[in-house]
Structure formats: structure tokens, C-alpha cells
């Protein structure tokens, strides 16, 4: 009998070697795998879910090595952010020290925790060098955004399937058991996961894709010509949010809309025409969602109106760090102490006994518990600096396409200031991908401006000069 796990390990080794030499393609493949990973774990390799869980990381590791080998040749593509680089270096050093925190149950918990915090940070420098031309980037982003259509169609099939259907299983790292999707409570419809392992991963993806599509439509000034599929993708993502039953993405999009209007409409020439097209476009999208997703809308509304924990959940990210300050102290219980993989690598110990039994759900509270007040301040200063830097940098981009994508990058970075960048792998990948994508927008914008200035300064060709002179002489 073929050992599937052994084959996957061998394939992983081959993938690293391939990714080192084809590191640009490896980055793009890893971004596709973040969408497909859950499907592979649930339906293709259920007995090796833990190995498939690291598939994207294998390709990214090879991409990092390949990039590092060529870094001297790629210096012009690297973002110049000395303050952010210094903060990230300090945070990484602090994280390494936290791996040795004596309160951790073992060293492996710390190593896995360090990976959760910092493994995707190199995308900040790798992504700006991964796309050699604006055309290649535009093709990738468009195709990537349109992938949300088939993912959304799968979610629709899940929504109308039984909770015990094979379409509605969850995936668990390291476990071969089957876990079925949850329902809305007020109805028999399931809360969908799409191609992802859990609801949380799919909602993170939906928020990222909705913001990206809005950025791409902003770059196209919300014109319908050539963008009908993009409008369909936007509708599928909004419908997907309803079918997940998660209120967070809709609340965040509501919060981001004024910023989007300011950056895409208010500061643009012809903003009135853009605003009119936005109103028309969103009306059509929302009309399609309400018509095609009446059951999803009813299920979402039923869950939203019956839930009584909304104020508590909204306040928790801001309140938890203060509540946990006295327990965490200056240095916390160690990096990775509250991570979901900690229990898996501490067999024989009472779960989270090393955190004195304190278990919290929110990211801000977990970071406070793990890193203490010192690490907590350092991590969230980085997020604030990155968001403020993104605002300044996105406003400096001049080319309409690059400005639209840069706006999407800024909005996503703002959305994740208190988001699940560390403990939600999907959000973590997209967070640092968008941070790197913003640097790429700056570089491509500079290259486009330089090419334009060179073309303007270039002398006219001799034959054109002769033709012009001949015309003038004939006129005389």
C-alpha cells in the first residue's frame, strides 16, 4: 500500500528545490494554495491534513531562499522603510527571546509560535520583486480575484446541502476525524466554508477579496465595460459573507467605506461620475445578492438579530489586553503559549496549564498573554506604523491603476490593525502580501513616471523633423 504521508514529504522536498529556482512562480502558487489548501485537506488527503496544512509554507520557504540568493540584483525593487525595518527587527529579536521563555512547556511550542508571528513577514520584501512587470501583476490580480467566483459557487452548493454532506466537513490539523459544519441555529442552512478548512479562514478570504476587487474597480473608475466578471465576483463575495453568518466582515466593510470614498472618489478628477457609477454598480450587485440569496439573507438576518453578544464582541479586542495585563506582566507566558498547535505538541499535559488555565479567543488578548505588555506594544506599534505609512504612500501613487491597488492595500492593513494576523493563517498571509504589494505599487509607479519623463524628453526622430520642416517649407 502506498504511504501517502511519505509521498507528500518527498513532494514537499521537491517543491522546496523547485521553488528556489522558480521563486517568483512559487509566490504566486502559494497564494493560490492558500485558497485550495482546505479543500485538499478535507477531500483529497484527509489522512494527511497536518502535512497539507504546511503546503503553502513549503513553497514560500523555497521562494524566500531563492529571493535571498538574488537580493543584491533586486535592490531597486526593495521598499525603503527604515523605521518599519527597525521595528520588525526588534520584534523578531524579542520573539526569539520569547521562544526561551521558561513558562513555555517545551521549546517546540515557542518555535511554532515564532513561525506564526514572523514566517510571512518576508513577503513585505519578496512580493515587490516577485512581479517583473505591471502587465504580469495585473493579469495575476485579475485572475486571482475572479477565482472567488468558483469558490463562491461551491459555497452556494454547501449552503443548500445537508450539514452532514461531504461538502460540509471541516478539516483539523493532525486529525483524520470528520467534523461537520455548523448551522445558523435559526434555520437548517449551514454556515459555509467554501474551499477553506473553517469559517474563519473563508471570512478572512472574503474580506480580502472584496477589498481587492473594490480596489481594482476603483482603478477602472467603476466602468462596466470589461469589468462585468469583476462585478459578478464582488456579488459572489458579498453573498459568501452572508452565507458564513459572520457579522465582522460586513461591519468592517461599513467602517472602511468612508475611507474608500475619500481615496477613490473625493480626491479624483471626475469624482462625481465615479460616484454615480459606484452607486449604480453597488445597486446592481446588491440587487443580485438580494434576489439570488434570499435564503442566505434571511438566515444571516436571523442570526444577527438573535445574537446578544455583539457589543461584547466589539469591545473585546480593546478591553482584553487591559484585563489580562496583571496576568501577563511584562514578558507574558511565552510566544506560542496560546496557539492552537500548542496542545498538539504537549501531549500528557493539561491543556493550557502553562498559562494557568487562562484561555482567550481574541487576538489582542492572546498576544498580551504570550508576549506581555512589552511585546504587545511592539507588535501593535508595527501595525499602526504600517497602516499610517500605507496611507501616506498610497496617496503619493499617481498612476490610476497602481493607485487603486494601493488603496486596497491600505484598506486591508487598516482592517487588520486588531485583526487575526498572527492566529489566523489566511489573514496573516494576506496581511503581509498586501503590505508587499503596496511596495510594488510604489516601485511600478516610479518606473512608469520615469518612462513617461524619458519619452517626453527624448528628441524627435530625424525623419519626423525632416517631414515637419518640409511641410513648413511647402506652406511658405
* Tens digit of each residue's pLDDT (9 = 90 or more) over 205-242: 999 999 999 999 999 999 999 999 999 999 999 999 99
Q: What percent of the chain has pLDDT over 90?
A: 63
State residue 471's pLDDT score: 47
State residue 45's pLDDT score: 87
CA separation for the pair 476, 471 (Å, rounded): 9
* Tens digit of each residue's pLDDT (9 = 90 or more) over 13-52: 999 999 999 999 999 999 999 999 999 998 988 888 888 8
394-397 long-range Cβ contacts below 8 angstroms, 24+ apart: 394/263, 394/438, 394/441, 395/263, 395/267, 396/442, 397/441, 397/442, 397/445
Mean pLDDT along residues 96-125: 96
Mean pLDDT along residues 385-407: 93
pLDDT band at 1 (very low <50, low <70, confident <90, very high): very low
What's the maximum distance between 2 C-alpha atoms anywhere in the chain? 100
State residue 341's pLDDT score: 86
Mean pLDDT along residues 439-467: 75
**Residue tagged 493550557 (cell numbers):** 352
CA separation for the pair 140, 134 (Å, rounded): 10
pLDDT band at 117 (very low <50, low <70, confident <90, very high): very high
**Mean pLDDT taken over the chain:** 88
* Tens digit of each residue's pLDDT (9 = 90 or more) over 362-395: 899 999 999 999 999 999 999 999 999 999 999 9
∠12-16-21 over CA atoms, to 5°? Answer: 145
* Tens digit of each residue's pLDDT (9 = 90 or more) over 251-265: 999 999 999 999 988
Q: Which among 81-85, 124-128, 163-167 has the top mean pLDDT? A: 124-128
State residue 38's pLDDT score: 92
Amino acid at each position: 500500500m502506498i504511504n501517502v504521508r511519505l509521498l507528500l514529504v518527498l513532494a514537499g522536498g521537491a517543491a522546496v528545490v523547485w521553488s528556489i529556482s522558480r521563486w517568483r512562480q512559487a509566490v504566486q502558487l502559494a497564494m493560490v494554495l492558500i485558497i485550495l489548501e482546505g479543500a485538499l485537506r478535507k477531500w483529497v488527503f484527509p489522512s494527511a491534513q497536518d502535512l497539507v496544512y504546511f503546503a503553502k509554507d513549503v513553497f514560500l520557504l523555497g521562494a524566500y531562499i531563492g529571493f535571498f540568493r538574488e537580493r543584491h540584483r533586486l535592490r531597486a525593487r526593495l521598499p525603503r522603510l527604515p523605521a518599519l525595518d527597525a521595528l520588525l527587527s526588534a520584534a523578531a529579536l524579542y520573539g526569539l527571546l520569547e521562544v526561551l521563555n521558561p513558562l513555555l512547556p517545551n521549546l517546540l511550542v515557542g518555535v511554532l509560535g515564532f513561525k506564526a508571528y514572523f514566517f510571512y513577514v518576508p513577503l513585505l520584501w519578496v512580493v515587490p520583486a516577485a512581479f517583473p512587470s505591471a502587465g504580469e501583476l495585473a493579469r495575476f490580480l485579475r485572475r486571482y480575484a475572479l477565482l472567488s467566483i468558483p469558490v463562491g459557487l461551491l459555497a452556494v452548493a454547501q449552503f443548500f446541502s445537508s450539514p452532514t454532506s461531504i461538502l460540509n466537513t471541516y478539516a483539523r490539523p493532525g486529525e483524520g476525524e470528520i467534523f461537520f459544519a455548523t448551522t445558523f441555529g435559526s434555520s437548517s442552512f449551514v454556515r459555509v466554508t467554501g474551499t477553506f478548512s473553517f469559517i474563519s479562514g473563508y471570512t478572512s478570504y472574503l474580506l480580502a477579496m472584496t477589498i481587492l476587487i473594490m480596489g481594482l474597480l476603483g482603478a477602472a473608475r467603476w466602468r462596466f465595460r470589461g469589468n462585468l466578471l469583476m462585478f459578478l465576483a464582488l456579488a459572489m463575495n458579498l453573498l459568501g459573507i452572508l452565507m458564513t453568518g459572520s457579522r465582522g466582515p460586513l461591519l468592517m466593510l461599513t467602517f472602511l467605506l468612508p475611507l474608500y470614498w475619500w481615496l477613490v472618489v473625493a480626491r479624483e478628477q471626475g469624482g462625481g461620475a465615479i460616484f454615480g457609477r459606484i452607486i449604480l454598480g453597488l445597486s446592481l450587485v446588491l440587487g443580485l445578492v438580494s434576489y439570488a440569496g434570499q435564503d442566505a439573507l434571511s438566515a444571516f438576518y436571523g442570526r444577527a438579530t438573535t445574537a446578544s453578544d455583539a457589543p461584547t464582541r466589539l469591545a473585546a479586542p480593546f478591553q482584553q489586553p487591559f484585563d489580562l495585563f496583571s496576568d501577563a506582566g511584562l514578558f507574558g507566558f511565552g510566544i506560542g503559549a496560546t496557539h492552537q498547535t500548542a496542545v498538539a505538541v504537549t501531549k500528557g499535559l493539561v491543556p493550557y496549564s502553562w498559562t494557568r488555565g487562562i484561555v482567550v479567543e481574541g487576538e489582542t488578548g492572546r498576544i498580551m498573554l504570550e508576549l506581555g505588555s512589552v511585546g504587545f506594544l511592539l507588535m501593535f506599534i508595527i501595525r499602526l506604523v504600517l497602516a499610517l505609512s500605507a496611507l501616506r504612500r498610497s496617496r503619493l501613487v499617481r498612476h490610476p491603476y497602481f493607485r487603486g491597488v494601493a488603496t486596497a492595500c491600505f484598506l486591508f492593513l487598516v482592517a487588520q490593525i486588531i485583526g487575526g494576523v498572527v492566529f489566523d493563517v489566511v489573514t496573516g498571509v494576506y496581511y503581509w502580501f498586501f503590505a508587499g504589494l503596496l511596495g510594488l505599487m510604489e516601485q511600478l509607479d516610479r518606473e512608469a513616471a520615469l518612462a513617461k519623463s524619458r519619452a517626453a524628453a527624448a528628441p524627435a526622430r530625424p525623419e519626423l523633423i525632416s517631414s515637419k520642416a518640409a511641410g513648413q517649407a511647402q506652406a511658405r
